[in-house]
Amino acid sequence: MLSRQQQFGEKGESIAERHLKKRGYKILEKNYRTKVGEIDIIAKEKNTIVFVEVKTRRSWQFGNPKGAVTPAKQRKISMVALHYLKTMDRSNARARFDVVAITASRDKPQIEIIKNAFELAYD
């Protein structure tokens, strides 16, 4: 059974997925997991594979949700993205990292897509 926090996160990912689809993204994978980590959404926009991290907050009390994608998180997402590209034999594909930041207040959620939020990061 999912915790309240996990349920809230899943709700945010569903909101992000609908928002991305409305903007022309084609969803390829959701919650893509490897031993290294997970990517919330893998999509395609035109001829680019987009690795999307979704961050959802109830308020800005702890800052903007996009600030939660730390350098350590970026490295982990990068490693999973490289694994995906290699596994799918798409190592030469154009790719980028987007963040969808959602503030889910009681009213309508505020949704921001940050394209090219960070560069490939690895040690």
Total-model pTM: 0.90
| Contact assessment for residue 101 and residue 66, using Cβ atoms and an 8 Å cutoff | yes
User: Of 112, 19, 121, 107, whose CA–CA distance to 66 is shortest?
Assistant: 112
- Residue 106 has which token pair? 């009681």
- Please state which CATH number belongs to domain 4-118: 3.40.1350.10
- pLDDT value of residue 123: 59
- Average pLDDT (64-91) is 90
Tokens of 32: 């893509």
Q: pLDDT averaged over the chain?
A: 88
Residue 92 identity (one-letter amino acid):
N
User: Residue 60, Cβ neighbours under 10 Å: how many?
Assistant: 12
* Consecutive H or E run containing 52: strand 48-57
Confidence of residue 103 (pLDDT cuts 50, 70, 90): confident
Cα Rg, the chain, nearest whole Å = 14
Predicted pLDDT of residue 64: 67
Instruction: Return the domain boundaries, the chain.
Output: 4-118
pLDDT in tens, 15-32: 999 999 999 999 999 999
